[in-house]
Amino acid sequence: MDIATLVQILDSTLRLATPLLFACLAGLVSERAGIFDIGLEGKLLIAAFFSAAYAHYSGSAWVGLGAGVLASVVFALLHGVASITFRGNQLISGVAINFLAAGMTVVVAQSWFRQGGRTPSLTGDARFQRLELPFAEALRDVPLVGQVYSQILSGHSILVYLGLAMVPTVWYVLYRTRFGLRLRAVGENPAAVDTAGVSVVGLRYIAVIIAGVLCGIGGAYLATSLSAGFVKDMSAGRGFIALAAMIFAKWRPWHALGAVLLFGMLEAVANRYPSLDLGFVVLPGQFMAALPYILTVVILAGFVGRAIPPRAGGAPYVKER
Amino acid sequence: MKLTRKFLGATAATALFAGTALADPAMVYDLGGKFDKSFNEAAYGGAERWAEETGGSYRDLEMQSEAQREQALRRLAESGSNPIVMTGFAFMSVLEQIAPDYPDTTFTIIDGVVDAPNVRSVVFTEHEGSFLVGMLAGMASETGTVGFVGGMDIPLIRRFACGYAQGVMAANPDANVIVNYTGSTPAAWNDPVRGGEITSAQISQGADVVFAAAGGTGVGVLQTATDAGILSIGVDSNQNHMHPGHILTSMLKRVDNAVYEAFTEGAEMETGVHVMDLAAGGVGWALDEHNEGLITAEMHEAVDAAEAAIVSGETVVHDYMSDNSCPISVN
């Protein structure tokens, strides 16, 4: 493998990891507050559709991003109402979100655009353009540092950098602010938080809305940056991979970044080498494509240490009388 | 009680009459969906053309999941639709089972062969069409490396890949053909993001013409190729208009003609295997105002010559599906 190939794979890794990163952080915030979120996939999908639709109508990717985030937040609130206010089963509510998004996007797209459940192709400013980082051109020929900076880090859409910036932000909010402390406490022992006079329901709603915003950005990135428009089921299971990455990372933001980069790299390698020749054995394409899922099973089987979820996760909070 | 039964009987009889009286043709689209801008959309175009010209009406259905296939066909057959046309090899196993159950209904399957007295099987010689666009790709490429992005990894798509590779080699024996498939499940027909990333990977390996035979995934391939400033080749329908000036050509598979003929001939059509080859105009390549600037006179001549040679039998393009192997090693 030469340097150019490596650079290409890492470049592709960063692009493919970004939607996973947003979804993963969204799930992390939500689950840290004690709300299991299987609906990441559905939120990505609904955001992808609405961002593509409004980017097409307005001709601006930013308007699309706003619409996508809004749609995702609406779905997040639906999840919130079902699982926080009405104390429903969080897993079932999440599954419902996924089904609703898969069906609704295609129906609405068909009724708006009459193109069989897709949006028209986006062009020009309706998509997020690639961004050249400052000095990228000047540093291009510097060995290693220049290559990493100008060929791997530079030249992505602004949402990729936003995603990377979200990692320290989420870490800071969770571990260095009063709000973050309460959020984590609400996922571990809501009764204690309630006793301290802080609203459990309020905190959980805020967490769910943050998850909605993050998923919304991830979905908009899929439709208005990675590709040019929405096609049905375009999230293609990325919400579930993000869920696995979150468990792999044991609900920690920096580890989440590592996990999504690993999953992104597996996909990038599978794209680059349909069958991988390791010298002594040739791995077929099907194996390469299945690798993220095999890894997920290995992770969930506990081969990388126990992954302990937040203690109050999945349980609706009932105030004692 | 008696009265109710009589009423029920009367309604049933009316329903039955309505069913037989209709006898409208029906169209069933495969999982890619009616508007995949490619294979199924070509079938839709044929059906619409028939409806426009004859003023007739037809029923159509889009598959949402594998499990619906049998149910959909039985529903249409029982409601009296005749003939019933379906697109996609995936219907083969289902049709084999249900065709004998409805001997009075004529079925047409596109891209698959089912041996039953009431089934017309339409197959295309995709390797011949792919050969022609492969020649164009080989001549248009400056780097000598061209790419192929397939949808689901199945023999039919390998037939495209193999014909394409032979065409490229015929135009430029030193060329390098990179072949990728999007996946091994039906989801591979609808993943433009992955299609785009595969295209980027091929571009980094030097490809400057990419042929997408991948249904809805192809939209991502064509988009990425256009963004990167290289040429791409569409498939099934004429996709030249999607990115004018950036799509070298489209390999046409006249699914629309197959559907149109089946609808026109109606239930009394001749059954058996129908081969739509280059000579019969079943496959070809697209030239219109969107790509005329990309096709030089020299390229046009060479392809015309190759076309004539294939039609006359002078050139034989190897068919991957005849022996599940390709004379040119494609990796």
3-state secondary structure chain B: CHHHHHHHHHHHHHHHHHHHHHCCCEEEECCCCCCCCCHHHHHHHHHHHHHHHHCCCCEEEECCCCCHHHHHHHHHHHCCCCCEEEECHHHHHHHHHHHHHCCCCCEEEECCCCCCCCEEEEEECHHHHHHHHHHHHHHHCCCCEEEEEEEECCHHHHHHHHHHHHHHHHHCCCCEEEEEEEECCHHHHHCHHHHHHHHHHHHHCCCCEEEEECCCHHHHHHHHHHHCCCEEEEEECCCHHHCCCCEEEEEEECHHHHHHHHHHHHHHCCCEEEEECCCCCCEEECCCCCCCCCCCHHHHHHHHHHHHHHHHCCCCCCCHHHHCCCCCCCC
pLDDT at residue B52, as a whole number? 92
pLDDT at residue A308, as a whole number? 80
Task: Mark yes or no for CB contact B220/A227 under 8 Å.
Answer: yes
- CB contacts < 8 Å between A and B, how many? 81
Burial state string for B208-237 with b = 16 or more CB within 10 A and e = fewer than 16: bbbbbbbbbbbbbbbbbbbbbebbbbbbbb
Whether residue A310 is contained in a domain is answered as no
In this structure, is the dihedral angle defined by the CA atoms of residues B95, B100, B102 and B108, taken in order, positive or negative?
positive
pLDDT in tens, A75-100: 999 999 999 999 999 999 999 999 99
Whether residue A231 is contained in a domain is answered as yes
Same domain as B223, residue B120:
no
**Chain B interface residues (partner A, CB cutoff 8 A):** 33-36, 41, 62, 153, 179-181, 183-184, 187, 190-194, 196-198, 200-201, 204-205, 216, 219-220, 223, 242, 331
Tokens of B305: 């010559």
On whether the CB atoms of residues B318 and B127 are closer than 8 A, the answer is yes
- Distance between CA B219 and CA A237 in Å, rounded? 19
Same domain as B248, residue B218:
yes
Q: Which chain A residue lies closest to B198 (C-alpha atoms)?
A: A271
Count of residues making up chain A: 321
B202 alpha carbon, distance to own chain's centre: 24
Look up tokens 């990179």; give the residue. Answer: B178
Which of A117, A267, A272 faces B33 most closely, judged by CB atoms?
A: A117
Residue B183 sits in a domain whose CATH number is 3.40.50.2300
Same domain as B131, residue B32:
no
On whether the CB atoms of residues B282 and B257 are closer than 8 A, the answer is yes
Same domain as B291, residue B200:
yes
Whether residue B115 is contained in a domain is answered as yes
- Distance between CA B314 and CA B281 in Å, rounded? 18
Which of B33, B179, B197 faces A232 most closely, judged by CB atoms?
A: B33
Whether residue A313 is contained in a domain is answered as no
Q: Which residues of B touch A1 (CB under 8 A)?
A: none
Whether residue B303 is contained in a domain is answered as yes
SS3 A108: helix
- Distance between CA B228 and CA B87 in Å, rounded? 33
Distance to chain A for B144, nearest Cα, Å: 18
- Distance between CA B67 and CA B65 in Å, rounded? 5
pLDDT in tens, B209-261: 999 998 888 888 999 999 899 999 999 888 898 888 999 999 999 999 999 99
Binned at pLDDT 50, 70 and 90, residue A132 comes out as confident
- Distance between CA B177 and CA B160 in Å, rounded? 13
pLDDT in tens, A6-59: 888 898 899 999 999 999 999 999 999 999 999 999 999 999 999 999 999 999
Task: Mark yes or no for CB contact B220/A236 under 8 Å.
Answer: no
Whether residue A298 is contained in a domain is answered as no
Query: How large is the average pLDDT for residues A293-312?
Result: 77
pLDDT at residue B94, as a whole number? 92
Same domain as B212, residue B69:
no
Same domain as B64, residue B167:
no
Same domain as B59, residue B142:
no
DSSP β-bridge partners for residue B29: B62
Q: Which domain holds residue A165?
A: 17-236
Sheet holding B231-236, edge to edge: B176-183, B145-152, B209-213, B231-236, B247-253, B283-285
Q: Which residues of A touch B180 (CB under 8 A)?
A: 271, 274
Q: What is the DSSP letter of A156?
A: B
Element (H, E) at A167: helix A158-176
Same domain as B162, residue B231:
yes
Query: Does position A3 have pLDDT exceeding 90, yes or no?
Result: no
Whether residue B274 is contained in a domain is answered as no
Tokens of A136: 């990228």
Q: Which residues of A touch B190 (CB under 8 A)?
A: 231-234, 236
Whether residue A39 is contained in a domain is answered as yes
Look up tokens 């990717």; give the residue. Answer: A61
pLDDT at residue B14, as a whole number? 46
Side chain identity, residue B56: G
Whether residue A249 is contained in a domain is answered as no
Which residue in B197, B199, B219, B224 has the most chain A C-beta atoms within 10 A of its own C-beta, making it the best mutation to test that interface? B197
Tally of structural domains, chain A: 1
Distance to chain A for B331, nearest Cα, Å: 8
pLDDT at residue B21, as a whole number? 43
pLDDT in tens, A248-273: 888 999 999 999 999 998 888 888 87
Neighbour count for residue B58 (Cβ, 10 Å)? 19
Whether residue B5 is contained in a domain is answered as no
Q: What is the DSSP letter of A302?
A: T
Q: Which residues of B touch A117 (CB under 8 A)?
A: 33, 35
Instruction: Please give the radius of gyration of chain A, using alpha carbons only, rounded to the nearest integer.
Output: 20
Q: Which of A102, A96, A140 is nearest to A232 (CA)?
A: A102
3-state secondary structure A50-64: HHHHHHHHHCCHHHH
From the DSSP assignment, how many helices (H) and strands (E) are in chain A?
Answer: 12, 2
- Distance between CA B223 and CA B231 in Å, rounded? 10
Q: Which residues of A touch B220 (CB under 8 A)?
A: 227
Same domain as B247, residue B180:
yes
Same domain as B299, residue B156:
yes
Residues of chain B where predicted confidence (pLDDT) is lower than 70: 1-22, 329-331
Whether residue B271 is contained in a domain is answered as no
A4 alpha carbon, distance to own chain's centre: 28
Q: Which domain holds residue B234?
A: 126-252+283-323
Whether residue B11 is contained in a domain is answered as no
Same domain as B232, residue B151:
yes
Q: Which of B90, B114, B226, B218 is nearest to B160 (CA)?
A: B218
Out of B265, B296, B313, a domain closes at B265
Distance to chain A for B313, nearest Cα, Å: 35
Whether residue A150 is contained in a domain is answered as yes
SS3 A280: coil
Same domain as B117, residue B66:
yes
- Distance between CA A137 and CA B304 in Å, rounded? 45
Q: CB-based contacts of A85: which residues, under 8 Å, 6+ apart?
A: A201
Which of A11, A231, A233 faces B219 most closely, judged by CB atoms?
A: A231
Distance to chain A for B218, nearest Cα, Å: 11
pLDDT at residue B232, as a whole number? 95
Neighbour count for residue A318 (Cβ, 10 Å)? 10
Query: Does position A123 have pLDDT exceeding 90, yes or no?
Result: no
Q: Which residues of B touch A227 (CB under 8 A)?
A: 192-193, 196, 219-220, 223
Strands A282-283 and B107-110: unpaired
Task: Mark yes or no for CB contact A222/B193 under 8 Å.
Answer: yes
* Backbone torsions φ then ψ of B29, nearest 5 degrees: -95, 150
Tokens of B25: 């043709």
Tally of structural domains, chain B: 2
pLDDT at residue A256, as a whole number? 94
